[in-house]
Structure 1
Amino acid sequence: MGNCQASEAATVVIQHPEGKTERLYWPTPAAEVMKSNPGHHVALVTLCVAEAKSGGGGESRSSVRFTHVRLLKPKDMLLVGKVYKLITSQEVSKALRQRRHLEKHRQLQQSTSRGGGEAAQTDRTAEAQAGKQERPRAAKSSAAATRQWRPSLQSISEGMS
């Protein structure tokens, strides 16, 4: 009799976009998987379950299941026992565009709720000018930081004994 179920759990599972499932039996860098699948990124998939209790005295609970996907850097390791998904570069760029659009939309809503678009515009220009003024000082301090330390030793005279 064997313990084959334990060996199945100790794998890195990679789900391909076309439905194929790949299993690796050792930790692998994400860069290696990306090299073998050009045009794809590796993402860690985690299943999250959120339970919401009803406001009344009843026992009814509703659970919401959703997956959380986090893109991995090429230097990250794919760990045994985790599930990863290959995502095409087009999907990644589309998601990034959507995220930027949502952030801009939220900022626009916040600026209009504060008191108008003109005040937000003047705030942005003031921040940009302040950033420009701070940059030259940072360059001067970084130049000073690259200076090497040179010891100043006093000479010791050697006497005849």
Structure 2
Amino acid sequence: MYSNRPRLKIPLETLDIILEFITLTILVVLWCYAIMEYTSMPDIIPTHFNSKGEVDGTGSKGTIWLLMAITTVITIGLHILTKYPHIHNYMVDITEENAAHNYKMSCRLLRFVNLFTLLLMSFIAYSVISSAMGEKAASGNTFMIIMIAFTIVMPIVLIVYVIKNQKAATSKK
């Protein structure tokens, strides 16, 4: 299926470098925050919040490492996936002529998805840690705004990607 696709190394452009840098920085800062706050956290911490932002599930403070591990695996996994654009799914047949453009766009889309997913996971980790430390967790309205924003922003990024690809395809005809 993918064996006939060209395997190209797509050079990073400035936007790609910025996205990668921001993503890495957020991940490192999140880990530093979790490590610094861990010893101060109580033995039981929130593990789930309802739609109002109220704690409705708890667990041992070690569960914060599970959240951090999941966040890290997702972030690194999406980063690694950008290195293999020839295995991504595309709406067009990949040829020698269109491979570079499609690969670049697919990798950039993944970088945006990676950043937005990390931001969401960071918000969740921050909410868990700050709530565990006795600080008021974000209100239900904040949770709802974050979730709505996430469900709006991700499709917008995808739509922009599709439109750019369609424009590129029609301009080459």
Q: Kindly indicate whether structure 1 or structure 2 has the higher relative contact order, using CA contacts under 8 Å at least 6 residues apart.
A: 2
The structure with the largest helix share of the pair is: 2
Same-fold call, TM cutoff 0.5: no
Specify the TM-score bucket, using the shorter chain as the normaliser.
under 0.3
Q: Based on CA coordinates, which of the two structures has the bigger radius of gyration?
A: 1
